[in-house]
Amino acid sequence: MSIRPFRNINRRETREINVGKVKVGGGSPISVQSMTNTLTTDVKATINQINEISSEGADIVRVSCPDELSSKALKEIIKHVDIPIVADIHFHYKRAIEAAESGASCLRINPGNIGNKNKIKEVVKAAVDNNCSIRVGVNAGSLEKDILEKYKEPCPEALVESALRNIKILEDENFQNLKVSVKSSDVFLSIEAYRQLSKSTDYPLHLGVTEAGGFIPGSIKSSIGLGTLLLEGIGDTIRISLSDNPVEEVKIGNEILKSLNLRERGVKIISCPSCARQGFEVIETVKILEKKLSHIKTPITLSVIGCVVNGPGEAAQTDIGITGGKKGNNMLYLSGVQSEKVLTNDMIDKVVSEVEKKVSELKNLK
Q: How far apart are CA 151 and CA 16, in angstroms?
A: 32
Low-confidence ranges of the chain (pLDDT < 50): 1-4
Task: Specify the domain boundaries for CATH 3.30.413.10 within the chain.
Answer: 267-365
Q: What is the DSSP letter of 174?
A: T
- Sheet (strand 300-305) strand order: 267-271, 300-305, 320-323, 329-334, 337-343
pLDDT attached to residue 292: 95
Residue 244 and residue 96: Cα distance in Å, rounded?
A: 27
Measure the CA–CA gap between 264 and 81, rounded to whole angstroms. Answer: 24
| 154-159 contacts at long range (C-beta below 8 A, 24 or more positions apart) | 154/184, 154/189, 155/189, 156/182, 156/189, 156/192, 156/193, 156/195, 156/196, 157/196, 159/184, 159/189, 159/193, 159/197
Q: Which residues contact 121 (CB under 8 A, 6 or more apart)?
A: 173
Q: How many helices (H) and strands (E) does the chain have?
A: 13, 15
Task: List, by residue range, all CATH 3.20.20.20 domains of the chain.
Answer: 16-259
* pLDDT for the residue 113: 75
CATH architecture of 267-365: 2-Layer Sandwich (3.30)
State the Cα angle at 297 between 181 and 253, rounded to 5°. 25
Residue 269's DSSP bridge partners are: 302
Tell me the torsion sign for CA atoms 152, 181, 172, 91: positive
Rounded-to-integer distance, Cα 152 and Cα 97, Å = 34
**Taking Cα atoms as reference points, which of 267, 271, 295 lies closest to residue 281?**
271
The three-class DSSP label of residue 239 is: strand
Q: Are 208 and 11 in contact (CB under 8 A)?
A: no
Q: Which residues pair with 16 in a beta bridge?
A: 25
Which pLDDT does position 186 carry in this prediction?
95
pTM: 0.89
Nearest to 165 by CA among 196, 140, 136: 136
Task: Provide CATH code, domain 16-259.
Answer: 3.20.20.20
**Residue 3: what pLDDT?**
47
